[in-house]
Structure 1
Amino acid sequence: MFAFSAMSNAQQAKPIYLDDSKPIEQRVEDALSKMTLDEKIAMIHAQSKFSSPGVPRLGIPEFWTTDGPHGVRPEVKWDEWDQAGWTNDSIIAYPALTALSATWNRNMSKIYGVSLGEEARYRRKDILLGPGVNIYRTPLNGRNFEYMGEDPFLTSQMVVPYIKGLQSNGVAACVKHYALNNQETYRHTSNVIIDDRTLYEIYLPPFKAAVQEGDSWSIMGAYDLYKGQYATHNQYLINDILKKEWGYKGVVISDWGATADTKQAIFNGLDLEFGTWTDGLAAGTKNAYDNYYLANPYKEMILSGKVGTAELDDKVRRLLRLAFHTTLNKNRPLGSVASAEHIEAARKIGEEGIVLLQNQNGTLPINLNKTKKIAVIGENAVKMMTVGGGSSSLKVKYETLPLDGIKKRFGKDAEIVFARGYVGDPGGEYNGVITGQNLKDNRSEKELIDEAVKVAKSADFVVFVGGLNKSEFQDSEGADRKSLSLPYNQDVLISSLAKANKNLAVVLVTGNAVSMPWVKEVPSILQTWYLGSEAGNALASILAGDANPSGKLPFSFPVKLEDNAAHAMGEYPGNKEEMAAGKGTDKNNVINIKYNEGIFVGYRWHDTKNIKPLFSFGHGLSYTTFEFGKVKADKTKISRNDKITFTVSVKNTGNREGAEVVQLYISDLKSSLPRPTKELKGFEKVYLKPGETKEVSITVDQSALSFFDPEKHDWVAEPGEFEALIGNSSSDIKSKIRFSLQ
């Protein structure tokens, strides 16, 4: 028998922190007041590879994080990176973020975030470690495929809808990597030297947009150092800029293994520590997580009186806010995985992100009236690309390969033949995810090329599918590329194919720019990125003309590496003298990297220095043609608080429905500080039927005219003459108009 005593009204009342009718800040303070020191300390560091504890006594659940920005990562063991062996953790892989950015379509970004958020919720995840918004400084950065390109405005515009869509599912975005993580070589041991103007104009805007406009509930610190402090606990980046200047109320999470010092972690803004001992056992104690920098070492400093608890309470407050948005949010949806809507989203984003770089004589789309045999050549036509590349590696329910997509779309009307062409990476396993593919081929390069040429000569049309892959030293976390060139003798192969058959489409599967010594030999080139589960279907749709390509490049393709500003002016991968001396080998022996090119990144460098790129930022062709009218402005003189609207008509002058991206660049005709020739400050994607005309209006304010003045530590718009330029790439300006700031 059990005896029960009657509870008082006070005992029966719901605690304030569990009452979702109360304001969040009131709930935060109530929960905080009920927590012990041990509970607070436990909450600010990991308890497993990808989770951190809540407060079980108070009914506050633990947080579960997951990679990555393109799909929900498969489960790993509690203390190890090895696969957990689950059979229900396969998902849909969405196109990599370079492809999303190449859509130049904010609505696609919202759909992407919503779809990914639904899959994360279905998998019971609370924090998704993405999106990545680090700026494309060098085409050798192995992780560029995870980011959104070289322009801070485009990246800012594309990241905000992603975050809002993701978080509408009660899953926190964790925008990364804050900040200046622009290469993989020396990423743990590099100290970035950069002036304040470049920091504020180029590398910080996407993060600012993410937290102020997107309201990202968390943000991830980077591995590198800035001003001699690790970015994950950096006084200037986190306390001064993120939390003070920008008023950020969310959670700063360490990258896995990025924390380096207890005192700096306490005082320099880190809120939640992950991955310090990545096997969970390296400390040699029963629970290595208790020996993280923000665990027992922090507690002992408090108990000894060396530090107070104000910083601890601030960290816990931020985590409690996050809990009320996520784990304690009773209204967040249940989620879904691999729905028809998700599959359609993956395919549609892929189609809109594919960029038609070149199309001489209308080679594409493939004309089936004249094509009865199609040769598909290249390893990337048959290699799975969802596995590998680092933390964004996925275990998918399916991946439609390019060859399979082409067979599905064209197989009823034409014979499809395949030749390998080259052997790159025959492996099919990464971090325990096994593709099941066996691509081993021991033939020589000559044998492979001879076979490919023979097959190409016998066909009516040739589709070469090559590029990079997600192996080390290509598009992969942890290592940069070694050169701008295509690997595996592909340049020789492409030239041979061009000689064998004039009806050739080169399909490049990459997350980076590559050199193209054969560019004048081939009629058509498609840049297709890593497109995820629907890769083959999206590609086939473009090849067939079922979808009209409308993607635009989110970064410039230089002719050669020396045409890139970081390689022409800056230091990459580090200071040469320090590299020669062996620096950068460990955290006690860091290497400096100077961004001497300053604000002249990407097209800002090409256009200002009159260096012709291979393909310009914003470039992308269509199967139809467009005609721009003359740009008009609603006023020619504006004051500091005014806005100005530019309007231009766009007409589809071809015979296919299509989409064009109207790009607005602003040029400051006379400035007290050096400025790029032009900078992107607005864009709109417009869909037009054949013969249809639409007017497109883009409104900007003073911020579009401003530069960051490091002496004033503020944004400045100087009175004077400006020019608005309307085009469909940074190098193809259709119309311009002058106006003045009074």
Structure 2
Amino acid sequence: MKKVIVIHLMLLVVGSFQLLAQQQQKDVEKRIDEIISQLTLEEKVKMCHAQSKFSSPGVERLGIPEIWMSDGPHGVRAEIEWDSWNYAGWTNDSCTAFPALTCLASTFNPELAYKYGVAIGEEARYRKKDILLGPGVNIYRTPLNGRNFEYMGEDPYLASVMCVPYIQGVQTNSVAACVKHYALNNQEVWRGHINVKVSDRALHEIYLPAFKAAVKDGEVWSVMGAYNQYNGQHTSHHEVLINDILKGDWAFDGVVVTDWGSAHDTKEAALNGLDIEMGTGTDGLTSSTENAYDYYYLAKPFLEMLKSGEIDESVVDDKVRRILRLMFRTNMSKARPLGRKANQEHFDVAREVAQEGIVLLKNHKSFLPLDPETTQTIAVIGENATRMMTIGGGSSELKTVHEISPLEGIQKRFTKANIIHSMGYASGPSAYGRVIPSHLDADSLKQAAIQVAKEADLVLFVGGLNKNHEQDCENGDRKSLNLPFGQDELLSEIMAVNNHVGVVLVSGNAVAMPWQAQAKAIVQAWYLGSETGHALADVLSGDVNPSGKLPFTFPVKLKDNGAHAFDALSYPGNGVDQVYKEDILVGYRWHDTKQIKPLYAFGHGLSYTSFKIHAAEVQSAQYQAGDFVKLSVNISNTGKQAGAEVLQVYVHDSKAAVMRPLKELKAFKKVKLTPGESKLVEFSIPVDSFAYYDEDKEEWQLEAGQFKLMVGTSSQDIRKTLTIEVK
């Protein structure tokens, strides 16, 4: 009886909160109506476009503030000058650099995503930002995309689950997250104009789910459009993507912002859902007396169309309503917190994300962990052991309070070892939009590294990619899957003189590994931010047991990737159009369905301990639409160390009316276990998630028939398979 009363009281409390929230929203909408009625047409239009590089104007006459934005999504970018891309030279705009979103995705830990969001949101709030431009959720289609490191991998379900708590965490600070880049911005080469042609199935099943989750589940307050075109129309003012899907089907009530310079037409921008235009080509103040920002597409040209009656005033009213709604959530919120910047708690969050995101790809005969008390000679070879990775990369470049290098982290943890560093190779300085070769002699660097390797007991090679143009960097794609700057050849020669070599790859992308068989251990370390060296040393020393899982597939060679399995029209396109010929078979869907063995599979990641899945069972064998499959999995830690495993549940449609992937991720949970400990892990998987998008009916279709639930620890490592029937 008492339990019933408690539940009843809880329902009453929840209901009261919901009623209060609804009333508050009604009050806000009423206030917005009052404000709009007092605005002149000129003032309304002014709110719809930039006034500087990173702000849009308010209305001083009515006390309406400006909106200030900042690049993310891994930290709050240093201050930019009002009207140029030069840094403003402030001394108080350093930040915490958080790990790149590929690392966050590889944690497979939504709770960490929330902590990450809260921390970065606090920093944005402290810096008086109203919109933080992140997270990025574009799908990893090709390993050559220069901006993959900013995204959450190749699987739409993983990206959906991980982006929602990030958004919710940011917005607890009355700072709007801005999910980007909506949509189909899956390469940097020709990004400003390439016209993507993709099936409706692939659009809805692969490329839109994370955006949908951001809107429907994360309740994100702003969305950034993309540069590219889709079916002949630019995506930042797209009738189908924005009017029909985003603001129609998904009922998005926030603000659509351009990517900087992604608006192309006044009437399309006005009528197809764009709310705030930033960074258009007339950037800045001209030498004339008039402000060039007034000539943006949503500025004077928009005003003229409104005055002539070509566009109805209700169009601008809707944009202003959305902008004011965002303001009441951010800079006009009475409950807005103060924020905090670059404190120890934030560095701790950055370190924790890095620790859980690092992926142990290979560990031959337990080469790792290394004994922290070792007195051996350790050769740390590679430019990435000392290179700052918060510099470069484009708009995600950060000015951090500190960045602990891999070498510094190793030196501080392995204090009794004789540690020698040799560069081995050099990449040249960072520069946006161009490659600057190093002035150092490549052969001299190589020979010095080989000599150091000869003298060492073991080698830690810290290489990979960096944030230079044509590496992991905005506005350009990689030229090859192989490691740049002669690293493959250098590694082969190092391994010829020392057979105790562990490789640490710093990158946001998959790379080819012709030396993979000779490496004793391979660690995928990502871009780890401020605490890079500490987190890496935590894992190398065994202070932290690695638990990261790959959020995308490593192909053996480029042609094994679905986007590259066809002609150039599939990637990078012909300069005008591009066709996604692999359709829905992106990443592991391609590899598994086409039976192409990957170098390392999606979801793969080793541990210093071992786990065993003993049993898996479902509550029932039969389901129908609207049901949830109740799945329980028994797992134990059979090793000698505490650790964490990620249980992954894939679904296979046994007999489908349309082509379907061999398997698709539908659930996952990270499970932490002490040695000898067992846990019963329970999943509740919506049967409706087994549906495919029916292009003829333009809706989701759940077929009747058998489905297999495949439980494993990667897309290639399935341990238990169960069969259920859907009516």
By the TM > 0.5 criterion, same fold? yes
Going from structure 1 to structure 2, the CA distance change for 1:319 and 1:421 (only over 3 Å counts) comes to: same
Kindly tell me: are residues 81 and 278 of structure 1, through their superposed partners in 2, closer, same or farther at Cα, counting changes over 3 Å?
farther
Structure 2 equivalent of residue 121 of structure 1: 125
Look up the equivalent residue of 2:459 and give its one-letter code.
V
Match of 2:441 in 1: 443
SS of residue in 2 equivalent to 1:649: strand
Counterpart of 2:385 in structure 1 is 381
Shift of 1:183: 0.2
2:615 counterpart SS class: coil
The equivalent residue for 2:18 is none
2:234 is aligned to: 230
Aligned residues: 703
Structure 1 residues 371 and 632, CA gap change in structure 2 (3 angstroms):
farther
Higher mean C-alpha displacement, 657-666 vs 274-283: 274-283
Instruction: Give yes or no for the alignment of 1:194 onto 2:198.
Output: yes
AA at the equivalent of 1:479: G
Question: Normalised by the size of structure 2, how large is the TM-score?
Answer: 0.95
Give me the whole-angstrom Cα distance separating, in 1, the residues matched to 2:181 and 2:694.
Answer: 25
- Matching residue within 182, 194, 218 for 1:214: 218
What's the TM-score once normalised by structure 1's chain length? 0.93
* Cα distance change on mapping 1:22 and 1:250 into 2, 3 Å: closer
Paired residue for 1:625?
A: 610
In structure 1, what is the Cα distance between the partners aligned to 2:76 and 2:267?
34
**CA distance, structure 1, for counterparts of residue 62 and residue 690 of structure 2:** 51
Mapped partners of 1:719, 1:509: distance in 2 = 45
**2:411 matches 1:407:** yes
* 1:489 alignment counterpart: 486
**Is 1:728 equivalent to 2:713 in the alignment?**
yes
For structure 2, the residue ranges without an aligned partner over 5 or more in a row are 1-22
1:375 to partner: Cα distance:
1.0
Do the aligned residues in 2 keep the contact of 1:49 with 1:278 (CA within 8 Å)? no
The 2-side partners of 1:575 and 1:168 are apart by 40
Task: Tell me the amino acid that sits aligned with residue 422 of structure 1.
Answer: Y
**Alignment partner for residue 642 of structure 2, among 647, 654, 657?**
657
* 1:638 aligned residue: 623
In structure 1, C-alpha distance between the alignment counterparts of 2:627 and 2:149, rounded to whole Å: 38
The answer for the alignment partner of 2:495 in structure 1 is 498
Q: Does 1:509 align with 2:510?
A: no
For 1:59-208, list aligned pairs within 5 A.
59-208=63-212
Name 1:690's counterpart in structure 2: 675
Contact 1:192 1:225 in 2 (8 A): yes
**Deviation of residue 575 (structure 1)?**
7.2
Q: Whole-Å Cα distance in 1 between the matches of residues 175 and 58 of structure 2?
A: 16
Change in 2 beyond 3 A, CA 1:724/1:694 = same
How many Å separate the matches in 2 of 1:22 and 1:670?
Answer: 49
Q: Is the 8 A contact 1:630 1:736 kept in 2?
A: no
User: Does the alignment pair 1:616 with 2:601?
Assistant: yes
Shift, 1:271, TM fit: 0.5
Q: Give the C-alpha shift of residue 55 in structure 1.
A: 1.7
Partners of 1:387 and 1:430 within 8 A in 2: no
Q: Is the 8 A contact 2:143 2:509 kept in 1?
A: yes
Would the aligned equivalents of 2:275 and 2:319 in 1 still touch at CA under 8 Å? yes
The CA distance in 1 between the partners of 2:442 and 2:157, in whole Å, is: 47
Aligned to 1:674: 659
- Aligned equivalent of 1:737: 722
Counterpart position of 2:535: 538
Determine the C-alpha separation between the residues in 1 that align with 2:282 and 2:551. Answer: 35
Quick one: percent identity of the two aligned structures? 55
CA RMSD of aligned residues (A): 1.7
- SS in structure 1 at match of 2:290: coil
The partner residue of 1:523 within 520, 523, 527 is 520
SS of 2:679's equivalent in the other structure is: strand
1:506-564: CA deviations, max 9, x gaps? Answer: 00000000000011011100000000111111101111000010000000000000000
The C-alpha deviation readout for 1:408-463, integer Å capped at 9, x for no partner, is 1112x2111111111112x26769xxxxxx99663332x32222122122222211
1:75-119 per-residue CA deviation (whole Å, 9 max, x = no partner) reads 111111111111100111000000000000001100110000000
1:466 and 2:451 matched: no
Paired letter, 2:474 = E
**C-alpha separation between the residues in 2 aligned to 1:189 and 1:691?**
56
How far 1:301 moved relative to its partner?
1.1
1:587-633 CA-to-partner distances (Å, cap 9, x unmatched) read xxxx0000011000000000001000000000000000000112100
Task: Establish whether residue 424 from structure 1 lines up as the match of residue 427 from structure 2.
Answer: yes
Q: Report the AA paired with residue 537 of structure 2.
A: A
Deviates more, 1:29-38 or 1:547-556: 29-38
The offset of 1:256, in angstroms, is 0.5
> How far, CA to CA, are the matches of 1:276 and 1:371 in structure 2?
58
Distance (whole Å) between structure 2 residues aligned to residue 535 and residue 439 of structure 1: 26
Structure 2 letter corresponding to 1:243: K
CA distance in 2, matches of 1:573, 1:48: 38
**2:564 pairs with one of 561, 564, 567:** 567
Question: Residue type matched to 2:516 in 1?
Answer: V
The answer for the alignment partner of 2:12 in structure 1 is none
Counterpart-to-counterpart distance in 2, 1:713 and 1:21: 33
Distance 1:689 1:52, change over 3 A: same
Is contact 1:632–1:647 with CA below 8 Å preserved after alignment? yes
Q: Which residue of 1 aligns with 2:15?
A: none
Q: Is 1:708–2:711 an aligned residue pair?
A: no
What is the rounded CA distance, in whole Å, between the counterparts of 1:108 and 1:336 in structure 2?
19
Task: Pick closer, same or farther for the CA change 1:488–1:59 going to 2, 3 Å.
Answer: same
